[in-house]
Protein backbone atom coordinates (compact mmCIF):
# COMPACT_ATOMS: atom_id res chain seq x y z
CA UNK A 1 0.00 0.00 0.00
CA UNK A 2 1.31 3.43 -0.89
CA UNK A 3 1.63 5.80 2.01
CA UNK A 4 0.57 9.24 0.84
CA UNK A 5 -0.46 12.28 2.84
CA UNK A 6 -2.68 11.30 5.72
CA UNK A 7 -3.16 7.73 4.38
CA UNK A 8 -1.12 5.65 6.74
CA UNK A 9 -0.27 2.01 6.13
CA UNK A 10 -2.04 -0.71 8.11
CA UNK A 11 0.93 -1.59 10.28
CA UNK A 12 1.33 2.01 11.48
CA UNK A 13 -2.38 2.32 12.16
CA UNK A 14 -2.46 -0.97 14.07
CA UNK A 15 0.59 0.05 16.16
CA UNK A 16 -1.06 3.36 17.04
CA UNK A 17 -4.43 1.78 17.75
CA UNK A 18 -2.69 -0.64 20.08
CA UNK A 19 -1.52 2.40 22.09
CA UNK A 20 -5.17 3.33 22.51
CA UNK A 21 -5.41 5.75 19.57
CA UNK A 22 -9.08 5.49 18.59
CA UNK A 23 -8.64 7.78 15.60
CA UNK A 24 -6.16 5.36 14.00
CA UNK A 25 -8.51 2.49 14.71
CA UNK A 26 -11.31 4.39 13.02
CA UNK A 27 -9.21 4.55 9.85
CA UNK A 28 -8.80 0.77 9.99
CA UNK A 29 -12.55 0.38 10.46
CA UNK A 30 -13.25 2.61 7.46
CA UNK A 31 -10.76 0.64 5.40
CA UNK A 32 -11.98 -2.87 6.21
CA UNK A 33 -15.63 -2.68 7.24
CA UNK A 34 -16.68 -3.03 3.57
CA UNK A 35 -14.89 -6.34 2.85
CA UNK A 36 -15.80 -7.77 6.26
CA UNK A 37 -19.44 -6.75 5.90
CA UNK A 38 -19.61 -8.27 2.41
CA UNK A 39 -18.08 -11.54 3.64
CA UNK A 40 -20.66 -11.69 6.44
CA UNK A 41 -23.48 -10.79 4.05
CA UNK A 42 -22.48 -13.59 1.67
CA UNK A 43 -22.08 -16.06 4.52
CA UNK A 44 -25.36 -15.18 6.24
CA UNK A 45 -27.52 -13.75 3.43
CA UNK A 46 -29.05 -11.39 5.96
CA UNK A 47 -28.11 -7.70 6.19
CA UNK A 48 -28.93 -7.21 9.88
CA UNK A 49 -26.95 -10.30 10.95
CA UNK A 50 -24.05 -9.23 8.71
CA UNK A 51 -24.01 -5.81 10.33
CA UNK A 52 -23.99 -7.33 13.83
CA UNK A 53 -21.13 -9.67 12.95
CA UNK A 54 -19.11 -6.80 11.45
CA UNK A 55 -19.62 -4.64 14.52
CA UNK A 56 -18.75 -7.46 16.92
CA UNK A 57 -15.64 -8.44 14.95
CA UNK A 58 -14.26 -4.90 15.03
CA UNK A 59 -15.03 -4.39 18.71
CA UNK A 60 -13.44 -7.74 19.62
CA UNK A 61 -10.39 -6.88 17.50
CA UNK A 62 -10.05 -3.57 19.32
CA UNK A 63 -10.19 -5.29 22.70
CA UNK A 64 -7.63 -7.89 21.70
CA UNK A 65 -5.15 -5.62 19.92
CA UNK A 66 -2.77 -6.04 22.85
CA UNK A 67 -2.59 -9.79 22.24
CA UNK A 68 -1.81 -9.47 18.55
CA UNK A 69 1.70 -10.85 18.00
CA UNK A 70 2.39 -9.00 14.80
CA UNK A 71 0.82 -5.75 13.69
CA UNK A 72 0.84 -7.03 10.10
CA UNK A 73 -1.43 -9.92 11.08
CA UNK A 74 -4.39 -7.65 11.88
CA UNK A 75 -6.41 -8.10 8.69
CA UNK A 76 -6.13 -11.88 8.62
CA UNK A 77 -7.15 -11.91 12.24
CA UNK A 78 -10.20 -9.76 11.45
CA UNK A 79 -11.26 -12.18 8.71
CA UNK A 80 -10.82 -15.09 11.09
CA UNK A 81 -12.93 -13.48 13.78
CA UNK A 82 -15.68 -12.50 11.33
CA UNK A 83 -15.76 -15.96 9.70
CA UNK A 84 -16.08 -17.76 13.01
CA UNK A 85 -18.76 -15.37 14.17
CA UNK A 86 -20.71 -16.08 10.97
CA UNK A 87 -20.40 -19.83 11.53
CA UNK A 88 -21.67 -19.36 15.10
CA UNK A 89 -24.66 -17.36 13.89
CA UNK A 90 -25.49 -20.12 11.40
CA UNK A 91 -25.16 -22.78 14.10
CA UNK A 92 -27.45 -20.83 16.39
CA UNK A 93 -30.04 -20.67 13.60
CA UNK A 94 -30.13 -24.46 13.27
CA UNK A 95 -32.88 -25.12 15.86
CA UNK A 96 -35.18 -23.09 13.64
CA UNK A 97 -35.24 -26.18 11.42
CA UNK A 98 -35.80 -25.26 7.80
CA UNK A 99 -34.48 -21.76 7.97
CA UNK A 100 -32.14 -21.77 4.99
CA UNK A 101 -29.90 -18.97 3.80
CA UNK A 102 -32.08 -18.66 0.70
CA UNK A 103 -35.07 -17.77 2.83
CA UNK A 104 -33.01 -15.22 4.67
CA UNK A 105 -32.05 -13.83 1.30
CA UNK A 106 -35.65 -13.56 0.18
CA UNK A 107 -35.55 -9.77 0.28
CA UNK A 108 -32.35 -9.63 -1.78
CA UNK A 109 -28.71 -9.60 -0.73
CA UNK A 110 -29.03 -6.38 1.25
CA UNK A 111 -32.76 -5.99 1.43
CA UNK A 112 -32.85 -3.33 -1.27
CA UNK A 113 -35.13 -4.37 -4.15
CA UNK A 114 -33.68 -1.80 -6.56
CA UNK A 115 -30.21 -3.30 -6.16
CA UNK A 116 -31.57 -6.78 -6.51
CA UNK A 117 -32.98 -5.83 -9.91
CA UNK A 118 -29.53 -4.78 -11.07
CA UNK A 119 -28.01 -8.06 -10.02
CA UNK A 120 -27.30 -10.25 -12.99
CA UNK A 121 -29.09 -13.54 -13.41
CA UNK A 122 -25.76 -15.35 -13.05
CA UNK A 123 -24.96 -13.63 -9.81
CA UNK A 124 -28.42 -14.46 -8.50
CA UNK A 125 -27.92 -18.11 -9.49
CA UNK A 126 -24.55 -18.11 -7.76
CA UNK A 127 -26.04 -16.63 -4.56
CA UNK A 128 -28.69 -19.34 -4.51
CA UNK A 129 -26.08 -22.02 -5.13
CA UNK A 130 -23.89 -20.65 -2.34
CA UNK A 131 -26.80 -21.01 0.04
CA UNK A 132 -26.85 -24.75 -0.65
CA UNK A 133 -23.21 -25.30 0.31
CA UNK A 134 -22.42 -26.32 3.86
CA UNK A 135 -21.38 -23.24 5.87
CA UNK A 136 -17.78 -24.49 6.14
CA UNK A 137 -17.49 -25.05 2.40
CA UNK A 138 -19.08 -21.69 1.72
CA UNK A 139 -16.58 -20.03 4.07
CA UNK A 140 -13.60 -21.71 2.38
CA UNK A 141 -14.82 -20.85 -1.11
CA UNK A 142 -15.67 -17.21 -0.29
CA UNK A 143 -12.46 -16.52 1.61
CA UNK A 144 -10.32 -17.92 -1.20
CA UNK A 145 -12.15 -17.13 -4.43
CA UNK A 146 -13.84 -13.85 -3.54
CA UNK A 147 -11.71 -12.35 -0.76
CA UNK A 148 -8.36 -13.71 -1.92
CA UNK A 149 -7.19 -15.02 1.47
CA UNK A 150 -4.41 -17.62 1.57
CA UNK A 151 -4.98 -21.36 2.04
CA UNK A 152 -2.88 -21.28 5.22
CA UNK A 153 -4.86 -18.43 6.71
CA UNK A 154 -8.18 -20.13 5.91
CA UNK A 155 -6.86 -23.35 7.45
CA UNK A 156 -5.96 -21.50 10.68
CA UNK A 157 -9.32 -19.75 10.67
CA UNK A 158 -11.25 -23.00 10.51
CA UNK A 159 -8.86 -25.12 12.53
CA UNK A 160 -8.27 -27.61 9.72
CA UNK A 161 -5.31 -28.45 7.46
CA UNK A 162 -4.55 -26.56 4.25
CA UNK A 163 -5.23 -29.82 2.39
CA UNK A 164 -8.72 -29.96 3.84
CA UNK A 165 -9.26 -26.36 2.76
CA UNK A 166 -8.16 -27.17 -0.80
CA UNK A 167 -10.49 -30.16 -0.85
CA UNK A 168 -13.43 -28.14 0.40
CA UNK A 169 -12.84 -25.40 -2.16
CA UNK A 170 -12.63 -27.98 -4.97
CA UNK A 171 -15.88 -29.58 -3.84
CA UNK A 172 -17.56 -26.20 -3.45
CA UNK A 173 -16.48 -25.23 -6.95
CA UNK A 174 -17.85 -28.46 -8.42
CA UNK A 175 -21.15 -28.08 -6.56
CA UNK A 176 -21.52 -24.44 -7.55
CA UNK A 177 -20.72 -25.19 -11.19
CA UNK A 178 -23.28 -27.95 -11.21
CA UNK A 179 -26.01 -25.54 -10.17
CA UNK A 180 -24.79 -22.99 -12.69
CA UNK A 181 -25.21 -25.32 -15.66
CA UNK A 182 -26.39 -23.19 -18.58
CA UNK A 183 -29.24 -25.50 -19.56
CA UNK A 184 -30.71 -26.00 -16.11
Partner 1 sequence: MALSPGTDTYRLPCGRNVERLWEDLDAPDEHGTSCPHCQASRASLQLLRQATGELVADEAEPPAGLTARIMAAVRADIRRRDLLELPTTEPGAARISAQAAATILRFAADTVEGVRARHCRVDLDATGAVVELNIAVDSRTFTHPALEQVRQRVETAASRRIGWPTVTLHLTMTDVFEA
Per rule CB under 8 A, is residue 171 in the interface with partner 1? yes
Gyration radius of the chain over CA positions: 18
Shortest Cβ 176–partner 1 spacing (Å): 5
Among 10, 62, 136, 162, binds partner 1 (CB under 8 A): 62
**CB-CB neighbours of 88 under 10 Å:** 13
Shortest Cβ 95–partner 1 spacing (Å): 27
Nearer to partner 1, 59 or 72 (CB): 59
Per rule CB under 8 A, is residue 178 in the interface with partner 1? yes
Nearer to partner 1, 7 or 20 (CB): 20
CA distances from 43 to 40, 133, 169 (A): 5, 10, 15
Site string for partner 1, 128-167 (x = CB under 8 A): -----------------xx--------------------x
Nearer to partner 1, 53 or 158 (CB): 53
Nearer to partner 1, 91 or 161 (CB): 161
Nearer to partner 1, 91 or 177 (CB): 177
> Per DSSP, what are the bridge partners of residue 7?
4
**CB-CB neighbours of 34 under 10 Å:** 10
Q: Phi first, then psi: give them for residue 64, nearest 5 degrees.
A: -105, 10
Helix residue ranges per DSSP H, the chain? 10-18, 22-44, 47-63, 74-93, 101-104, 113-118, 121-132, 135-141, 151-158, 162-179
Among 6, 30, 67, 69, binds partner 1 (CB under 8 A): 30
Amino acid sequence: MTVTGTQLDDVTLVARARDGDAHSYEQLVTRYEGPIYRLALRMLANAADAEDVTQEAFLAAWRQLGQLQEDAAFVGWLYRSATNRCLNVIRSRKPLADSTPEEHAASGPDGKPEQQAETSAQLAALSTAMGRLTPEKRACWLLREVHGRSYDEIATTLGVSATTVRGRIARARAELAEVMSPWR
